[in-house]
Amino acid sequence: MEIQLWRELLAPYQLAVDELVVKFNHIKQEYYDGRMYSPIEEVSGRVKRVSSILEKMQRKGVAFEELEEKIEDIAGIRLICQFVEDIDTVVEIIRNRQDLEVKLEKDYISQSKPSGYRSYHIIAYYTVHTINGPKKLEVEIQIRTLAMNFWSTIEHSLQYKYKEHMPEELRLRLLRAADAVDALDNEMASVRDEIMDAQNSNRQKANIISDILSNIENLYYVANEREVEKIQNEFFKIYQKDDMEILMRFNKQLDIMAETYRAQSVLNRKGM
Ligand code: 0O2
C-alpha cells in the first residue's frame, strides 16, 4: 500500500479520534459546570501508527482487505478515571450514547490478562462524515484508573523494548507491581467518599472565588473606583479567613449589588 493510501485510509480514523476526544472532554466539562464530580478524569486519543498496524496484521495474519474489519483499534480513545467504581459509570455512559454502537466489551478488570494488564475495553462503531459521505468505523475505547494506566504505560514500553523476550525476573516483578496497583485501587476505593468530598470542596471554593472576582471586575465598570477598591480589600480579608460560608455570603452581596447597578443603568437609559 502506498503512503498516500495509508493517509487516505487513516484520515477518517483521525476525524473519529478528534471528535470523540472533544465529546468526552465535553462530558467532563458538563459535570464540572454542574458542580458535580466527574467520573472521567482524563481523555486522550490516538490513531495507531502504520508500523504498529503492520506489526499487528502480521501477528494476527490479517490481509490488507480485512484490515479495517479485523484491526479494531486503529482509532483509540483512552478514558482515565480516578476510582475503579467510576469505570462502571463511564461504561454505562458509553452504552447509552446514540452516536456509539457497542460491538463488544472486554473486561480485563475482573479477569486481568496473563501479563497483569487491567483495563476495560469497548469496541464500538462510530460514524464520521467526510466529503465522500458517511463512514462507519470501529473505535477502541480503553477505560482504566490512573493507577492501572501508570502500570500499563510502563509495561507497554518494556514490552516494546523486549518484544517476546521479556526476562522472567522482570515479568514476575511486573506481575507483583500489577498486584500492588490492584491493592492501591482497592485502598483508594475505600476512602473514595472522603477524597471526593475534599476535591468537591476545593472545586467549589475555586468556583466561588472565580465568581467573586468576575463580579468585582464587572462592578469596576459601573461602580465608582473607591467603592470597588473597598470591596476588593474586603475580599482579601475574607479570603484569609478561609470560610466557605462567609465567601458565599459575600458573593451573594456582590450579586445583589451588581443587579442594583444593572437596574439603575436601565432606568438611566430610559431617562427615568
Ligand atoms: P498499542 O501500541 O497500544 O496500539 P491481543 O490479541 O491480545 O494482542 P487485541 O485482540 O488487539 O490484542 O485486543 P486487546 O487485548 O484488547 O488489546 C488491545 C490494546 O490493549 C493493545 O493494543 C494495548 O494498547 C492494550 N493491551 C492489551 N494487552 C496489554 C498488555 O498486556 N499490556 C499493555 N501495556 N497493554 C495491553 P496494541 O495493539 O498492543 O498496541
Residue 54 and residue 9: Cα distance in Å, rounded? 14
CB burial readout 144-182, b (16+ within 10 A) else e: bbbbbbebbeebeeeeeeeeeebeeeeeeebeeebeebb
CA 175, 47, 155 angle in degrees (round to 5)?
Answer: 15
Question: What is this structure's pTM?
Answer: 0.82
User: Which atom belonging to ligand 1 lies closest to the Cα atom of 49?
Assistant: 4
- Note whether 138 and 68 are within 8 A (CB): yes
Question: In residues, how long is the chain?
Answer: 272
Enclosing H/E stretch for 199 = helix 192-222
- Note whether 123 and 140 are within 8 A (CB): yes
> Atom 29, ligand 1: which residue's CA is nearest?
117
- Note whether 13 and 75 are within 8 A (CB): yes
- Note whether 47 and 13 are within 8 A (CB): yes
In degrees and rounded to multiples of 5, residue 112 shows phi and psi of -70, 160
Closest CA to 144 of 109, 162, 119: 119
Residue 100 and residue 133: Cα distance in Å, rounded? 18
- Note whether 144 and 120 are within 8 A (CB): yes
pLDDT tens, per residue, the chain with 272 residues: 666 689 999 999 999 999 999 999 999 999 988 888 899 999 999 999 999 999 999 999 999 999 999 999 999 999 999 999 999 999 999 999 999 999 999 999 999 999 999 999 999 999 999 999 999 999 999 999 999 999 999 999 998 888 888 899 999 999 999 999 999 999 999 888 888 888 888 888 888 999 999 999 888 888 888 889 999 999 999 999 888 899 999 999 998 988 888 777 777 776 66
User: Which atom belonging to ligand 1 lies closest to the Cα atom of 46?
Assistant: 4
Q: Annotated catalytic, 69?
A: no
Q: Would you give the DSSP letter of residue 154?
A: H
User: Which atom belonging to ligand 1 lies closest to the Cα atom of 121?
Assistant: 16
CA 46, 9, 17 angle in degrees (round to 5)?
Answer: 25
Q: Is 149 helix (H, G, I), strand (E, B) or coil?
A: helix
CA 148, 149, 155 angle in degrees (round to 5)?
Answer: 90
Is the sign of the CA dihedral 121, 125, 131, 132 positive or negative? positive
pLDDT of residue 161: 86
pLDDT of residue 186: 94
The count of C-alpha atoms lying within 13 angstroms of the C-alpha of 242, restricted to the half-sphere facing its C-beta, is: 2
The ligand 1 site (C-beta within 6 Å) comprises: 48, 52, 56, 73, 106, 113, 115, 117, 121, 152, 155-156
pLDDT of residue 101: 98
pLDDT of residue 58: 95
Ligand 1 mean position, distance from CA 140 (Å): 10
The residue whose CB lies within 8 Å of the most ligand 1 atoms, and thus the one to mutate among 17, 73, 111, 117, is 73
Enclosing H/E stretch for 50 = helix 50-60
Residue 198 and residue 203: Cα distance in Å, rounded? 9
Ligand 1 mean position, distance from CA 39 (Å): 24
